[in-house]
Amino acid sequence: MSEKIHLTIDHKTIVAKEGANLLQVAEDNGIRIPHLCYHRKLSPTGACRLCIVKIKDQRGMIASCGITVKDGMEVTTSDDELEEARKYLLDYLLAEHNEEYDGAYEDEFRELCRRYGLDKKENRTFPSIWKEMNYPKDESSPVLTYDAAKCIRCFRCIKGCDEVQGKNVLSFTSRGISSYIVGGFDKWGESECDGCGECIQLCPTGAIVEKPHREELRLDEKTTKVQTTCPYCGVGCQLELVVQNGRILRSNGVEGVSPNDGRLCVKGRFGCDYVQHPERLTKPLIKKDGQFVEASWDEALDLVAAKFAEIKEKYGRKALAGYASAKATNEDNYLFMKFVRTVFENNNIDYCTRLCHASTVTAMLRSLGDGAGSNSIEDYAESDCILVTGNNMIETHPVTATYVKYAAQRKGGKIIIIDPKWTPLVDHAHIWLQPKLGTDVALLNGMIHVIIKENRIDRDFIEKRVEGGMESFEALKELTEKYTPEKTEEITGVKASLIAEAARIYAGARQPLIATGMGFSQQVTGTHNVFSLINMMLITGQIGRKGAGLNPPRGQNNVQGVSDVGASPFTYPGYIPVDDKENRRKVAEIWGIPFEKLDGEKGLSTVEIMQAAYEGQVKGMYVMGENPMLTDPNLNHTLEAVKKLDFLVVQDIFHTETTPYADVILPATAFAEKEGTFVNSDRRVLRVRKAVAPPGEARQDWHIVAEIARRMGTPIGDYPNEAAIWDEIAQTAPIFGGISYDRLEKQGIQWPCPEKSHPGTTTLFTEKFNTKNGLAKLHPVDYAEQSEKADNQYPFILNTGRILYQYHSSTMSRRNKALTDFANEAYLLIHPDDVQKLGLSEEQKVHITSRRGTISSVIRSSREVLPGELFMPFHYAEAPVNKLTSDELDPFSKIAPFKLSAVKIEPAH
């Protein structure tokens, strides 16, 4: 299909790819053929007929959207007859159209009518008939309005929902001139529509328009549009913020740019209102006599500097610690990291990754040498086998999931899911393996057993690319010998035949991708879970080429970047171990400080910091944009720890569950108020741009950090702007060496990108692994029973996780009406058999108690969980599920087992 052919369009000679679409070829060559129903991302429809052309030796007028270019084709896009026909067609559309325009949407149809002079009524042929049709208006959705009288029935919304988002919620009802679009069976608001707004983005008229800010936005008045990166999950979607009068009134997906190519989810499109929420922190606050009082920046910063200095003086440099923020930029975090290392003079810096993918990263670093995803997000669309382990990606990485669904729906790819809980992706899956909570290692070993027994291994790969070759393979073989499908079924509860089938599909796939999530990582055995996954991948040779590998989709906008820039107790920027003297020496030189100042000893990790605070070893803490009082495990214990601190600084954009315990609260800026960069799940460095001014006296995080350092007498550098900070990052972290802001203007670059001329890396490990000897390493691991077990007193196992409409501790998400309209209530999922056994009823309020605490919630009966297992979202402060979770840590990665707590349920009276 890559053959080049020549054709002429309006006498202009054009070179095109064989098999290309004529309308697209014209468009790509700057020849504008009018059209409304065609869109680059969608299959051609042929509905509007406006793209008619004439082709030499073919009869009549032909819709170019349905034509495949051929060599020698001679195309005419415009003559009197074609133009007259187009005018007729637009005139027809106008007849059935309500032309009122409120200025709150872009209207391609209106523009075309103007071009053809049809905005003047005297130029029209047809009578207006739309009023007689009694077209309905659907206002039932929380986020959009559909007005059939403004609909030109172009199919773009229907196809966008189906072909792009893989949701298939929209369709036509009725027939002919009476036809219009419906969500589900009738009402948008009662359908499965999840509010992603792809339909809005693709609608060429005002038929489907956002509800929020519709009264406010007037596109004919002064507006600015700013391209930036979404502040929610780690897909890194490119947003276009539409700003008017200093307020963000719209968020659109940016078309034609990776990774999202215009796609967004409900959070990206409707979740930016929190930025301008009245509850934003606007002034520094100092706690005086138990009450927060407003203070000047000078007063607050001097106090913070003095207190930190005092603690360091009194208790030594290890008594201070900092939490960096996955929500802040690389530049913010880099300076925060530099602050902890050079001002605190220790390595007690960590952030939420420790509670997230720490185990995945640990296992990947040890086995493969890099902890980041090995492939590109778009690769999912072409994959023939996608193994999704403990990852509810439709809700947590919705845009990545569109590519995964695309592979399954349109390319015959097979999705295999390993998850104890049903997720929406199960509806698209070929196989769903539903193991009991905490039995993943056994399940993977069972699959490996089948692969070895049936000789589906890649011997060549093992010999050439795995340390120890077939010898180390033998060790794995021996260990997995006992995991026969039958034995594995006994442990995991998954049918032996399904285990074998899944193993065969994975091993035999051409381009298999693994997407592993919190379900795998947030366990005491998290690192082992991922080791076993990697073992299976290595013996089948399913990594190291385009479209094959292991990818942990990251949960937050910049969780990848914060690790990359070195906000870690173990590694410096670019994943260079803290104890690497050579690197410390190099960094000290860049930073212009004595090498001895840099602590060569590993620091404390997230949960360890809290534990040390509890033990009285950490006395002062600097929390930048984190909310440990909702997100750390074993909250009751965390509370005790936080209370024991001498001094706590929280820097955030809102009051959180953590701010009440702070001594000083510093108001920071939100993503739309700053310049900088994020790194997404496929290692893409993406620009963040300022769209609006910060509220009140709020300041950018890195400014605050630098100012505290200066006031402590240990300045961390003078930076004119974020680009200058980035350049220093690129200097310290070799993976970013070739990246600078000017290269990021249009789109992101995937690291490693060591030099200016390097294009970035779409696929990792194609030549060698990033380990010392360049070889991958097998880590045979045995299944071990969980120490946290259900017993007579705590008979249920509780799983926790996220939902589509909320994000992390919901500080941001819950301050968007559109999102809370969809979901705003905590619940406990419980299997109907258990509901019956306990004599409970739907929506009944219960107390849920673990060995560590009690919370209350209403129950929802659901077959999404197995009998004996429960599920709760962790977003809601009124039902803080982390009061129940344990802080027993995975010994390798220090991750906490959020996915597994033994609990009991009692009716609340």
Partner 1 sequence: MIQETRIVLKNAGKIDPENIDDYLKAGGYEGLRKALSMRPVEVIDELLEAGLRGRGGAGFSTGMKQRFTSESCLRCPQRYVVVNADEGEPGTFKDRVIMEQDPHLYLEGTIIAAWAIQATKGYIYLRGEYTDSIKKTKKAIEDAYERGYLGKNIMGSDFSFDVEIRLGAGSYLCGEELTMLESLEGKRGTPRIKPPFPAEKGLFSMPTLVNNVETLANAPLILSKGKAWYQGIGTKRSHGTKIFTISGQVNKPGHYELPMGVTLEDLIGLAGGMRGGRPFKAALLGGAAGTFVDSSMLKERMTYDNLKEKGATLGSGAVIIMAAEDSVEQILHNCLRFFRHESCGKCVPCRTGTTILVKRSEQLLSGHSDRKTLVQQMLRESEMMAATSLCPLGQSPILPLKSAARYFLEH
Among 5, 20, 47, 858, binds partner 1 (CB under 8 A): 47
Residue 127 engages partner 1 in binding (rule: CB under 8 A) = yes
Q: Name, in order, each residue with C-beta under 8 angstroms of 348's C-beta and a sequence gap of 6 or more.
A: 318, 320, 321, 322, 340, 569, 603, 604, 609, 618
What is the Cα–Cα distance from 172 to 54, expressed in whole angstroms? 31
Q: Interface mask (CB under 8 A) for partner 1, residues 150-179, using x and -?
A: --xx-x---------------xx-xxxxxx
From the CB of 112, what's the least distance to partner 1, in Å?
A: 12
Residue 52 engages partner 1 in binding (rule: CB under 8 A) = yes
From the CB of 92, what's the least distance to partner 1, in Å?
A: 4
Of 85-93, 279-287, 357-365, 508-516: span binding partner 1 (CB under 8 A) = 85-93
152/749 with CB nearer partner 1: 152
133/593 with CB nearer partner 1: 133
Instruction: Count residues near partner 1 (CB under 8 A).
Output: 33
Q: Interface mask (CB under 8 A) for partner 1, residues 756-795, using x and -?
A: ----------------------------------------
Residue 93 engages partner 1 in binding (rule: CB under 8 A) = yes
Residue 19 engages partner 1 in binding (rule: CB under 8 A) = no
91/240 with CB nearer partner 1: 91
Of 81-89, 394-402, 407-415, 594-602: span binding partner 1 (CB under 8 A) = 81-89
Using the CB atoms, write b or e for 658-671: b if 16+ within 10 Å. Answer: bbebbbbbbbbbbb
52/855 with CB nearer partner 1: 52
From the CB of 49, what's the least distance to partner 1, in Å?
A: 5
CA of 92: how far to CAs of 48, 120, 701, in Å?
A: 10, 14, 56
Residue 95 engages partner 1 in binding (rule: CB under 8 A) = yes
Residue 89 engages partner 1 in binding (rule: CB under 8 A) = yes
| H runs (alpha helix) in 566-719 | 581-591, 606-614, 628-631, 635-644, 701-711
CB 74 within 8 A of CB 6: no
CB 332 within 8 A of CB 675: no
From the CB of 85, what's the least distance to partner 1, in Å?
A: 6
From the CB of 152, what's the least distance to partner 1, in Å?
A: 8
What is the Cα–Cα distance from 717 to 453, expressed in whole angstroms? 60
DSSP assignment of 542-600 equals --SBTTBEEE---SSTTHHHHHHTT-SSSEETTTEETT-HHHHHHHHHHHTS-GGGS--
Query: What's 55-89 look like in SS3?
Result: ECCCCCCEEHHHCECCCCCEEECCCHHHHHHHHHH
Of 56-64, 110-118, 377-385, 451-459: span binding partner 1 (CB under 8 A) = 56-64
What is the Cα–Cα distance from 493 to 87, expressed in whole angstroms? 66
The dihedral built from the CA positions of residue 192, 197, 200 and 201, taken in this order, carries a sign that is: negative
From the CB of 139, what's the least distance to partner 1, in Å?
A: 23
Cβ atoms < 10 Å from Cβ of 497: 10
Residue 48 engages partner 1 in binding (rule: CB under 8 A) = yes
The type of residue at 715 is P
Residue 500 engages partner 1 in binding (rule: CB under 8 A) = no
From the CB of 52, what's the least distance to partner 1, in Å?
A: 6
CA of 718: how far to CAs of 185, 299, 435, 592, 702, in Å?
A: 60, 22, 54, 12, 11
76/171 with CB nearer partner 1: 171
Residue 49 engages partner 1 in binding (rule: CB under 8 A) = yes
From the CB of 380, what's the least distance to partner 1, in Å?
A: 23
82/730 with CB nearer partner 1: 82
DSSP conformational letter for 16: E
Residue 115 engages partner 1 in binding (rule: CB under 8 A) = no
Among 92, 101, 315, 892, binds partner 1 (CB under 8 A): 92
CB 701 within 8 A of CB 667: no
135/380 with CB nearer partner 1: 135
85/381 with CB nearer partner 1: 85
Residue 124 engages partner 1 in binding (rule: CB under 8 A) = no
The dihedral built from the CA positions of residue 176, 180, 182 and 185, taken in this order, carries a sign that is: negative
Site for partner 1 in 57-76 (CB under 8 A): 60-61, 63, 65-66
Stated length of the chain? 909
Q: Which residue has the tokens 């990545």?
A: 400
Residue 5 engages partner 1 in binding (rule: CB under 8 A) = no
88/101 with CB nearer partner 1: 88
Q: Which tokens in the block code for residue 173?
A: 């009802």
Cα-Cα-Cα-Cα torsion 841, 843, 849, 850, nearest 10 degrees, comes to 100
CB-based burial label for 219 (10 Å; 0-12, 13-18, 19+): middle
From the CB of 20, what's the least distance to partner 1, in Å?
A: 15
89/859 with CB nearer partner 1: 89
65/399 with CB nearer partner 1: 65
Of 84-92, 456-464, 621-629, 758-766: span binding partner 1 (CB under 8 A) = 84-92
Q: Which tokens in the block code for residue 388?
A: 């999704």
Q: Which residues are near partner 1 by CB under 8 A?
A: 44-49, 52, 60-61, 63, 65-66, 85, 88-89, 92-93, 95-96, 126-127, 129, 152-153, 155, 171-172, 174-179
